[in-house]
Amino acid sequence: MEELTLTTPALLFSAISLIMLAYTNRFLAYASVIRNLHDIYLEKKDDSLLRQIKNIKLRLNLTRWMQIFGITSLLFCVLTMFLIYINFNTIAVYIFGGALILLIISLSLLIKEIQISAQALQHHIADIEEHLEQK
């Protein structure tokens, strides 16, 4: 096995930063949708809006956990670099492995969130197709 150097965990910085930016954009989009659905629900009290809000709430929670695991992965990368710097290379290897596992969990949650999002959009498409068939 090759020795872990400072550049190895540093390579993940840009990737994790871009992922976190995408996660934050998702979070902000959900917040906007929730505010809009809230206003519409106060006017109409429609049960279908409650289902949409429940779906968005699940996706928002997944996004929060994606962010938590992603940020923790980044923190582990920084800790790895510090451990390499002070010549605790064996511990650094394990911490970096932990960082990779946390990043894998974060990305796995992203896959789950995308599946839920796609299902929600499929329901909307089905509703549109049903209305088109009725006309």
Residue 126, pLDDT above cutoff 60: yes
pLDDT band at 93 (very low <50, low <70, confident <90, very high): very high
Share of the chain above pLDDT 90, in %: 44
Q: Where does residue 35 rank: exposed (0-12), middle (13-18), buried (19+ CB within 10 A)? A: exposed
pLDDT of residue 2: 64
Instruction: Give 51 or 108, the one with higher predicted confidence.
Output: 108
pLDDT at residue 105, as a whole number: 97
Place of tokens 């929730």: 34
Express each pLDDT in 49-72 by its tens digit.
778 888 888 999 999 999 999 999
Percent of the chain with pLDDT over 70: 98
| pTM as predicted | 0.81
Query: How far apart are alpha carbons 21 and 34 in whole angstroms?
Result: 20
Residue 118 scores a pLDDT above 80: yes
Cβ-proximal residues to 34 (8 Å cutoff; 6+ apart), any chain? 53, 56, 57, 60
What integer pLDDT is reported at residue 34 of this predicted model? 84
Region of poorest pLDDT, from 20-34, 54-68, 120-134: 120-134
What pLDDT shows up at residue 64?
A: 93
The residues spanned by each domain of the chain are 7-134
